[in-house]
């Protein structure tokens, strides 16, 4: 069913967080699954930031504020979990519901050595991101001290895989310095070819990065690919 179908039929679309194992968002984390909010937020805040160099020349009082980079977008989302039953919704165990949400967006996954990537979907809004911070405020309790209402404030940063990011920002030129982190099944020959469109430079890359064996590079190793002019 399309978004328009939802509008015309009056169907309520809940904001959902879905866990993925990879930055390309192709492999779902079936164990973490997804989490749908109880009540949709009234707003989603978008934060944009441009990083500029503030270095000043000696004796000057101003800076040229040269452009450095565009920072990843930040998304701030707030929602409520209610376990009182006063809203007419099915009564939830607030503590269990918070734990389910955290398992999708926050918990460290040993296989990937990091928390999952998160796809946030709300009607026509689709965000691919990672969690930056989450604050949970329990503001109503039973006489026994069990939380029955919580407010969740979370901030996410946009996340796209490295190759797509460079395509978007037009930074595919071999005349620029590239920094890469070796992923599983990658090798220097293929990585160098993707940047320089040639198989002639992988030995130079191994030398520049002080590698003794270009055929075996550990996953997670950070490599520099300088401009061809260097």
Q: How confident is the model at residue 140 (pLDDT cuts 50, 70, 90)?
A: very high
Instruction: Write down which residue in 109, 129, 160 finishes a domain.
Output: 160
Coil, helix or strand for 101?
helix
Q: How confident is the model at residue 20 (pLDDT cuts 50, 70, 90)?
A: very high
Contact 158, 75 (CB under 8 A): yes
**The domain containing residue 104 runs over which residues?**
3-160
Contacts of 44 (CB under 8 A, 6+ apart): 75, 76, 77, 122, 125
Instruction: Write down which residue in 118, 139, 160 finishes a domain.
Output: 160
Is residue 136 domain-shared with residue 200, that is, in the same domain?
no
Structural domains of the chain, count = 2
Residues 175-197 have pLDDT tens digits of 566 778 888 888 888 888 888 88
pLDDT over 90, % of the chain: 37
Is residue 19 domain-shared with residue 122, that is, in the same domain?
yes
Is residue 38 domain-shared with residue 103, that is, in the same domain?
yes
Is residue 106 domain-shared with residue 204, that is, in the same domain?
no
Is residue 18 domain-shared with residue 131, that is, in the same domain?
yes
Is residue 95 domain-shared with residue 67, that is, in the same domain?
yes
Residues 151-177 have pLDDT tens digits of 999 999 988 655 544 444 444 455 566
Pairing of strands 108-109, 117-122: unpaired
The owner of tokens 């099915």 is 90
Q: How confident is the model at residue 66 (pLDDT cuts 50, 70, 90)?
A: confident
CA distance 84 to 62: 57
Q: What b/e readout covers 119-147, taking b as 16+ CB neighbours within 10 angstroms?
A: bbbbeeeebbbbbeebeeebeeeeeeeeb
Apex 66 CA angle, 170 and 180, nearest 5: 40
Q: How confident is the model at residue 210 (pLDDT cuts 50, 70, 90)?
A: confident
CA distances to 21, 108, 109, 128 from 32, rounded to whole Å, are: 10, 11, 10, 16
- pLDDT at residue 3 tops 60: no
Instruction: Write down which residue in 132, 160, 188 finishes a domain.
Output: 160
């Amino acid at each position: 069913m399309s978004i328009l179908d939802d509008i015309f039929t009056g169907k309520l679309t809940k904001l959902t967080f879905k866990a993925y194992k990879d930055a390309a968002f192709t492999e779902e984390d079936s164990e973490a699954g997804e989490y749908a909010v109880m009540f949709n937020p009234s707003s989603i805040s978008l934060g944009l930031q441009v990083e500029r160099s503030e270095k000043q020349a000696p004796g000057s009082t101003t800076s040229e504020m040269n452009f450095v980079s565009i920072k990843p977008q930040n998304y701030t989302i707030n929602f409520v979990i209610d376990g009182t039953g006063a809203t007419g919704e099915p009564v939830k165990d607030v503590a269990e519901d918070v734990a389910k949400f955290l398992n999708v967006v926050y918990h460290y996954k040993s296989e990937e050595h990091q928390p999952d990537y998160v796809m946030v979907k709300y009607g026509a809004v689709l965000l691919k991101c990672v969690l930056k911070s989450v604050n949970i405020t329990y503001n109503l309790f039973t006489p026994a001290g069990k939380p029955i209402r919580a407010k969740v404030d979370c901030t996410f940063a946009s996340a796209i895989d490295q190759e797509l990011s460079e395509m978007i920002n037009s930074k595919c030129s071999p005349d620029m310095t590239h920094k890469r982190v070796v992923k599983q099944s990658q090798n220097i020959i293929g990585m160098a070819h993707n940047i320089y469109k040639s198989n002639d430079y992988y030995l130079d890359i191994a030398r520049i990065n002080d590698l003794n064996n270009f055929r075996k590079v550990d996953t997670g190793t950070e490599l520099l690919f300088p401009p061809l002019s260097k």
